Amino acid sequence: MKSIQSFFLLAILFPLALLAQTKATVSIQNTTASDRKEAVVSVKWETIVSHYPQIDTTNFVVINSITKKQVPFQLEHQGFKTIQNLLVQVNVKAKSVLQLSIQKGKHSVFETKTYARFVPERKDDFAWENDRIAFRAYGKALEKTKEDAYGLDVWVKRTDKMILNERYKIGDYHIDHGNGLDYYHVGFTLGAGNMAPYVKDTIRYSANYHQWKVLDNGPLRSSFILTYDTWDADRIKVKATKKITLEAGSQLNRIENVYTYESNALLPVVVGIIKRLEKGILSLNEQQGIMGYWEPSYGKDGTTGVGAILTTPVSNITVGTAQLLAKTEVKNNEAIVYYTGAAWDKAGKITTATHWFDYLNKFSQELKNPLIVSVK
């Protein structure tokens, strides 16, 4: 009889204890021998709610258990109405565990570190940036004009402030007014790491993107989708979507491409980086899928490093007169993920080819050894 009474007592007290819980604890473990600095970490929102069911999305803080200071966060929706993830930006020392407390409180106003938008006033550009670097993709209105280009563009910057709106407003972004400029040349190439089908040893370029959708927009992560209308890749009708994500503190975008075509065969594709006529410095690792390029200096404008990291097997990396190409394959209607981005020596953080290639190699290792997150 006592055991039955105890069972019913526990059945009553357990949900009451859950309702009374006033916080959740997040543990972030770094198993590697390198510090993880300014890492944006994703925690599933449903997991947080299961441990802290009374959480108020308008009245909570994330506290570093060591410093007792607030940690910047973002509620990520991924294009849905409901919250999908809690994003936090943290530093986690090598071989250590960082604990965060999620509890009731008024959070600080966090600095915007990522931003993305459609730019109709500049022929349908889509531009995005973080506190390190900026990029743009070309839209429909630019097609068949003398300014048209195929690849991804880089806007170098030497400030952690958001600069896109200011540059477009001034309209003079090819001159450095103190925060950087656009001196990167794309032309009819893949530019700074765009991807395209590679059929019969030829790049089969699409037209520019024709539709766009912003999924999330800072302060720690911005993501959006660009959609490309069907085009002919040597008698293969292909259409594509590109989901691009840029996090605070990162030099590289995460790009998730989905190619749709009427076949079950694998489609060869390449990630490309435009190569300059003058001599630059290369670091190519087919086995690890890393392609790094430190461009020749461009006069007073400085030097740009460009790189890509593929997560699918790379059959080969070629160095042509116009582009560096890393070749891989995709399946019909299945996502392929890779990373691409750039750095500028005048920003003062990555100033040599060695620094840039070390950054790419470290980034690749971090992808293979992600931070481990648990909630209680």
Residue that has been written with the tokens 């809690």 in this structure: 86
Total domains present in the chain? 2
Residue 74 belongs to domain with CATH number: 2.60.40.1180
pTM: 0.94
Residue 269 belongs to domain with CATH number: 2.70.98
Looking at the fold, whether 99 and 191 belong to one and the same domain comes out as: no
Of 64, 91, 106, the residue that ends a domain is 106
**Residue 352: inside a domain, yes or no?**
yes
Of 59, 81, 106, the residue that ends a domain is 106
**Residue 91: inside a domain, yes or no?**
yes
Q: What is the pLDDT along the chain (376 residues), one digit of tens a residue?
A: 444 444 444 444 444 444 457 899 999 999 999 999 999 999 999 999 999 999 999 999 999 999 999 999 999 999 999 999 999 999 999 999 999 999 999 999 999 999 999 999 999 999 999 999 999 999 999 999 999 999 999 999 999 999 999 999 988 889 998 999 999 999 999 999 999 999 999 999 999 999 999 999 999 999 999 999 999 999 999 999 999 999 999 999 999 999 999 988 999 999 999 999 999 999 999 999 999 999 999 999 999 999 999 999 999 999 999 999 999 999 999 999 999 999 999 999 999 999 999 999 999 999 999 999 999 9
Looking at the fold, whether 219 and 316 belong to one and the same domain comes out as: yes
Structural domain boundaries, residue 77:
23-106
Across 218-334, where does the E strand assignment appear?
221-232, 237-247, 252-261, 267-274, 281-285, 290-294, 304-310, 316-319, 323-330
In terms of residues, how long is the chain?
Answer: 376
Burial (0-12, 13-18, 19+ Cβ within 10 Å), 284: middle
